[in-house]
Amino acid sequence: MDFFLTSVLAFLVAIGVLVAVHEYGHYIVARWCGVKVLRYSIGFGKPIWMRKSGPDQTEYCISAIPLGGYVKLLDEREGNVAPEEIDRAFTRKPVWARIAILFAGPGANFIFAVVAYWLMFVVGVPGAQPIIGDVEPNSIAARAGIQSEDKILRVGDNDVGTWEGAILYLLEEVLDESVVALEVETVDGETRTALLDVEGRLSELTEPGQLFPVLGMAPWKPVIPATVSEVTPGGAAEAAGVLAGDTVVSAEGEVVEDWPQWVMWVRERPGETVTFVVERDGEQLTMTATIGETETEGERIGLIGMATEPPEGLAERYSALQRYGVVESVMPAVERTWDMAELTVRMLGRMVIGDVSVKNISGPINIAEYAGYSASIGFAPFLSFLAIVSVSLGILNLMPVPVLDGGQIVYQVAEAIKGSPLSERAQIIGQQIGIAFLVLIMSFAFYNDLSRFF
């Protein structure tokens, strides 16, 4: 329940911020160009809060449906305009001004992404070093000579320091290349180049969550032995005779390979009396304990009263922190925004021709889930999430679909070439096609969300 509320709140914050930024781009450039702004609304539908302000008495609204927003400009196409205000109508401005106003919304999203990445790099981006874990036999990775605990240094021509960067550049490379070059460092400190043969596997590799399974490798995960560092006084473990330094090796005949497995095993057995085996000074001892219990989010979970500490040096081996100075963060922020925009455009292009699965289209449910997950991890991951969605929002709105900013820009360019506006009939047909396209896209998005959810 807590994660659900976090997801909903994070989603509302994310959508509210990104829509406000997008619409503010339209709003401020419209004012700079001398167009009268009638309404600035976050959300659609009936306003639940409204305030009029400024010399034009612009209506500032928060509306009931939090899935978008709009800026309403003075426009002859939407009603009569008073003669004294005719020069402030959107339709009376030169083509370049109208294009600037339309482009300003997506432009504001790109600027916001740069600012978000900049702040993220200044604060510091915690991440995992790109160290490879398990490698499947006879897989693409195995045939390239990739081995467990190899560390990725470069993907193609790009240096990487975290798994986030490695995944970004891997996706970029597989979109166009039949062979992807990885420069890796072995545990012995040697460097070599591994060539991943991905020819004909683009559709599989770009399925959501399938990049690593198809390549046949996984990110390295730290192995934390089920060794006890502390026993809780009065707990079930103490009553069973467990001591600090003991290592759990099996439970009810099931081999215990690491600490997370042991924790999950205990959590699933609240109130049960169980038998487990620990190793102490080379000797195996069988113990019996009645697992305690507590309630979390309405669910009963087991507690046994023991704790562990990660092996010394594990954090340094596994974690990475990307942090730059205030000035030094500017270029990495611009580059990351450009990389995300380029990847988004290329994925959309390959999706249109059928090379990339439409399962990559996400709707509000999936976005909310990611929003809650990133927000629960920390400020920097949430900033990264906001930047990614902001870039996607900017790209989406620049698509040449009549109901979007990109489609309206196409209308203005056509007018500049033709010397007069497109006919009303042509614009209506364009709007109908645009609406049908958006309905199709949203149908895919909701279908994908529900498929993942269930």
Task: Give the Cα separation of 239 and 405 in Å (integer).
Answer: 68
Task: Name the nearest CA neighbour of 130 among 82, 103, 166.
Answer: 166
Residue with tokens 């062979």: 179
Task: Give the Cα separation of 192 and 204 in Å (integer).
Answer: 27
Angle between helices 330-352 and 95-123 (to 10 degrees): 120
Q: What is the DSSP letter of 11?
A: H
Task: Name the nearest CA neighbour of 247 among 195, 287, 217, 219.
Answer: 287
CB 46 within 8 A of CB 64: yes
Task: Indicate if 23 belongs to the active site.
Answer: yes
Q: What is the DSSP letter of 85?
A: G
**In sequence order, which residues have a C-beta less than 8 Å from that of residue 180 and are 6 or more positions away?**
155, 156, 170, 173, 174, 195, 196, 198
Task: Give the Cα separation of 330 and 251 in Å (integer).
Answer: 53
Task: Give the Cα separation of 112 and 21 in Å (integer).
Answer: 7
Q: What is the DSSP letter of 131?
A: B
Catalytic residue among 23, 164, 172, 369: 23
Q: Provide the CB-side half-sphere exposure for 109 (13 A, CA).
A: 26
Q: What are phi and psi of 323, to 5 degrees?
A: -145, 135
User: DSSP of 293-329, one letter per residue?
Assistant: EEEETTEEEEE--EE--PPTTHHHHHEEEE---TTTT
At 217, the amino acid letter reads M
Q: How many CB atoms lie within 10 A of CB 208?
A: 13
Task: Give the Cα separation of 181 and 358 in Å (integer).
Answer: 27
Tokens representing residue 356 in the block:
């990339």
Q: Both ends of the chain: CA-CA distance in Å? A: 17
| Residues with a known catalytic role | 23
